[in-house]
């Protein structure tokens, strides 16, 4: 994960996660889970961010049942938090017993708390955790400062950068 600072009056720090880093972190999480838990009945991906980490974990853990839960808790591009609302329930997961609940990031913990209430017997994991959300996850790989905006590979695109010699 690489961090960059935006030098505006209200400076925001960005952390960029590459595809390679995301894959390495998902495999590291899978390794931890394999050492602590014998198996899972299935995986519940929290859409949309948890879909790709859940797919990687499903492969690494040999899990074939992958369910999803869709929760809307942010509004607009600026990411204003609102009251969570279920758009699609994870029916196959029941109360979550034996299921791994996966998200990419736990930020404030609003979505995580909401899904944990829905699946109280599930094991909640994510790749990245901010301090406010950390209490709502059972396992995570990397802690990220609360004021950092994480840019995932699906949020960014490769961009041509001219050679330094052209800037003279």
Q: Are 112 and 140 in contact (CB under 8 A)?
A: no
Q: Residue 43: exposed, middle, or buried by beta-carbon count in 10 A (0-12, 13-18, 19+)? A: buried
Instruction: Give 63's contacts (C-beta < 8 A, 6+ positions apart).
Output: 39, 40, 42, 43, 57, 100
Tokens of 130: 């901010």
Task: Select which of 95, 107, 117, 147 is catalytic.
Answer: 107
Question: Is 104 tagged catalytic?
Answer: yes
Closest of 107, 139, 110 to residue 33, by C-alpha: 139
Task: Select which of 20, 25, 104, 117 is catalytic.
Answer: 104
CB atoms < 10 A from the CB of 92, how many? Answer: 13
Task: Select which of 20, 25, 95, 103 is catalytic.
Answer: 103
Active site residues: 103-104, 107
């Amino acid at each position: 994960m690489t961090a960059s600072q935006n030098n505006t009056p209200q400076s925001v720090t960005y952390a960029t996660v590459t595809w390679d880093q995301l894959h390495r972190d998902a495999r590291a999480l899978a390794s931890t889970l394999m050492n602590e838990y014998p198996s899972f009945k299935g995986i519940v991906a929290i859409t949309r961010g948890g879909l790709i980490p859940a797919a990687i974990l499903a492969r690494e853990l040999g899990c074939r049942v992958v369910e999803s839960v869709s929760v809307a808790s942010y509004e607009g591009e600026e990411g204003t938090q609102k009251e969570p609302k279920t758009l699609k329930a994870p029916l196959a997961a029941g109360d979550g017993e034996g299921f791994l609940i996966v998200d990419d990031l736990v930020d404030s913990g609003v979505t995580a708390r909401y899904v944990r209430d829905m699946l109280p017997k599930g094991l909640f994991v994510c790749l990245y955790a901010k301090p406010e959300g950390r209490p709502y996850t059972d396992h995570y790989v990397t802690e990220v400062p609360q004021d950092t905006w994480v840019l995932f590979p699906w949020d960014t695109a490769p961009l041509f950068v001219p050679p330094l010699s052209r800037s003279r």
